[in-house]
Amino acid sequence: MSNSQDTNISKKEPTKSIAALQEQLMQGFMYALSIVGLLTAGVGSFEAIEASNEWLVPLYIISYLTVLLFTFWKKPSYRLRSWSLGLLLLVLGFTDFIADGLGGSGRLFLLGAIFITGILLGRRESAMMLIASTATMVGYGIVFSYGILTIPGEIRSSQPLSWVISTLALVMLQLLIHIGLNFLLTQFNQILGHSHEITAELQGYQTALEKQVHERTEHLSRRSAQLETTAAIGREITAIQDSDELLSHSVQMISEQLGYYHCAIYLKEKHGKHVVLKSASSEGGKQMLQQGYQQEIRETSIIGYVLLNGTARVAHDVDQDLMYLEVPELSDTKSELALPLRARDQLIGVLDVQSKDAHAFDDQDIVVLQNMADQLAMAIFNTQLYEESQANLRAARRAYRESSQKAWLELIQRKPLSKRYDPARILDQSDNWVDLMNSAAISGSFESEGNRLAIPLKDRGEIIGIIRAQKNQVNDVWNESELNMLNTLTTQLEVALESSRLFEDTQRRAVQEQLTSEITTRMRETLDMETVMKTAVSEIRTALGLSEVSVRLTPKTQKTNHNGEQ
């Protein structure tokens, strides 16, 4: 529950305990008896004197003083004061039976004692008072029936004082019952009303809790879907090795699976002050892509802020955000989130996500999308490295092929390698093979015509020669088994020829290096310039088989400085 709800609960008046209510009720009884009891004690004393029952006067006075004592002296315990009130009614019942028998108010006092004790002290004390009252009735019934006690005079209904005494006793008991019932009903209504308030509050809390649980469930479901989508996108983008496909596929997946109408990727120029739009998912973004859209990197734009500071930037309401750069193609945008694309401590670009709803991005969205941006940045970085390595590899292969082709050309020029194996001299001695061999060289695969066959020889994909073969009989064509064997042997021949060429080049370089070393050594045998030049000319001519070698020393043109000195 919220803090405001907890505060409201703490401010409510706490429900009173049963003991507190009982003590409050007992105090009310005492106040009522102290008011009505004065009149009752006075009239009762006067009636007792007239009936020659003077012994009742001290009892009435003591009873009333006891009520006053426990009404205003709060030091005695609650149980002592409650028992004194119940016993006081029981004693009044005893005395009334002695004075008036069944014609008096003794039964009312006994009934009041049971009621007061039960409501103030509980069921066990009420049962004890019930037993005492019943025993009193039985005891007095016995003593009056057998004449042990007799009533001095019969109460006559025509005597006004008797009516006053009975009425006061009845009023006192009615007042006690009225106060008790009224108090109990009032407290019951208050407790019932409070219970209704608590029930209403609990229902409100339950509704709020259910709403919170529903919102939290939706929130968790959304986060779970975001994490699953992030993982799925991460798996897919890491498998893509083409940078253009990676950028296009990534923004499309983010828009479709996370529900953002526009997603774009901007990449920094290697040596420039602009960031270039490389991919976009919305129709407006694709129009911007066709136009070659780019932004200058500056602090006053959301994209520039992210690139300069390396942190995410969110515009919850683009109409109120001064950094938002309005673009006509993206007029539906209400909120925007830009995230840095960082890979290996290099800030390579920005992932820009826009929504048609204001306040569409919360803190958790930023965390989830930043994790996705980190994966995307690493994938882009790896793809760029892969493409660079592939380009370097292609360049190396191309250079090697060119070098190899040049080496083969030089080798063929130095040493013709075309050989014909025809010990029985059955092959066609003419040059009718040219067309067939040209076809094999152009197609890069074997070409056959009847009993004749041409197979290209390759080195690193470059054709360095053609193998031609012919069967004895004109109608004897080449079968698949023979072609497979020739292909295998051709492959082995290609490897062997390349190894042989490399070996020959190595030997030739070794001879050249050795010859160079020898010539250099001979030239350094003397310090005489004329002798050095003669030795150099002679050794170079002999080593390379040249007809003439000459050396001329030509000094640079003399220059004049600003003072006219040469």
Tens-place pLDDT, residues 408-441: 666 565 565 555 555 555 555 555 566 667 777 6
Per-residue pLDDT, 482: 77
In this prediction, residue 14 carries a pLDDT of 43
Rounded distance between C-alpha atoms, residue 227 and residue 373, angstroms:
13
Beta bridge partners of 294: 276
CB 237 within 8 A of CB 250: yes
Q: What are phi and psi of 280, to 5 degrees?
A: -155, 150
Q: At what angle do helices 160-238 and 363-414 cross, to 10 degrees?
A: 10
Report the SS3 class of residue 335: strand
> Looking at residue 5, what is its pLDDT?
44
The torsion region of residue 298 among left (phi > 0), alpha (psi -120 to 50) and beta comes to: beta
CB-CB contact of 275 with 349 (8 Å): yes
Strands 313-315 and 294-296 come out as: unpaired
Listed by start position, the domains of the chain span 10-201, 240-389, 417-478, 483-549
User: Does residue 183 sit in helix, strand or coil?
Assistant: helix
Residue 338: the pLDDT is: 93
Mean pLDDT of the chain: 76
Residue 45 CB partners (closer than 8 Å, separation 6+): 56, 57, 60, 61
pLDDT at 418: 57
pLDDT of the chain along its 566 residues, tens only? 444 444 443 344 444 567 777 787 778 878 877 887 777 777 777 777 876 777 778 887 888 888 888 888 888 888 888 888 888 888 887 777 777 776 677 777 778 887 888 777 877 887 887 888 788 777 877 877 777 777 655 444 445 555 455 556 545 665 566 566 556 656 666 776 778 788 888 888 888 888 888 888 877 777 777 777 777 777 777 777 788 888 888 888 888 888 889 999 999 887 778 899 999 999 999 999 999 999 988 888 999 999 999 899 999 999 999 899 888 899 999 999 999 998 888 888 999 999 999 998 888 888 888 888 888 888 888 888 888 888 888 787 777 666 666 666 665 655 655 555 555 555 555 555 666 677 776 776 777 777 777 778 777 667 777 777 777 776 777 777 877 887 887 777 767 777 776 777 777 777 777 777 777 777 777 777 777 777 777 777 776 677 777 777 776 655 545 444 44
State the CB neighbour count (10 A cutoff) for residue 173: 20
Helix (H) or strand (E) holding 23: helix 18-50
> Residue 172: what pLDDT?
60
The dihedral over CA atoms of 117, 121, 123, 125, expressed in degrees to the nearest 10, equals: -60
Contacts of 415 (CB under 8 A, 6+ apart): none
Q: What is the pLDDT of residue 429?
A: 54
Token duo for residue 451 = 């009993």
At 314 the pLDDT is 92
CATH code that applies to domain 240-389: 3.30.450.40
pLDDT of res. 171: 56
